[in-house]
Amino acid sequence: MTATQDRWSALLEAARQAREKAYAPYSRYLVGAALLDDQGRIHAGCNVENAAYPEGVCAEAGAISHMVLNGGRRIVAAVVVGEGAEAITPCGGCRQKLREFGADSLVVRSADAQGQWRGEHTLGQLLPSSFGPAHLAGKKEDEDDEA
The residues, any chain, with a CB within 8 Å of residue 3's CB and separated by 6 or more, are 11, 36, 76, 77, 107
Residue closer to ligand THU by CB (options 10, 91) is 91
Residue closer to ligand THU by CB (options 31, 36) is 31
Contact 15, 42 (CB under 8 A): no
Query: Least distance in Å: CB of 72 to ligand THU?
Result: 19
- The yes-or-no answer on residue 60 being catalytic is yes
What does the alpha-carbon distance between residue 38 and residue 74 come to, in Å, rounded to a whole number?
Answer: 6
Query: Least distance in Å: CB of 18 to ligand THU?
Result: 10
What does the alpha-carbon distance between residue 87 and residue 110 come to, in Å, rounded to a whole number?
Answer: 7
Query: Least distance in Å: CB of 146 to ligand THU?
Result: 27
Site for ligand THU in 71-110 (CB under 6 A): 80, 90-91, 94
The answer to whether 56 contacts ligand THU (rule: CB under 6 A) is yes
* Active-site residue identified among 13, 49, 55, 60: 60
Contact 112, 127 (CB under 8 A): no
What does the alpha-carbon distance between residue 136 and residue 116 come to, in Å, rounded to a whole number?
Answer: 39
Among 11, 18, 35, 58, binds ligand THU (CB under 6 A): 58
- From residue 64, give the alpha-carbon distance in Å to each of 48, 60, 100, 132: 14, 6, 10, 16
Catalytic residues: 60
Which spans of this chain sit near ligand THU (rule: CB under 6 A)? 24, 27, 29, 31, 47, 49, 56, 58-60, 80, 90-91, 94
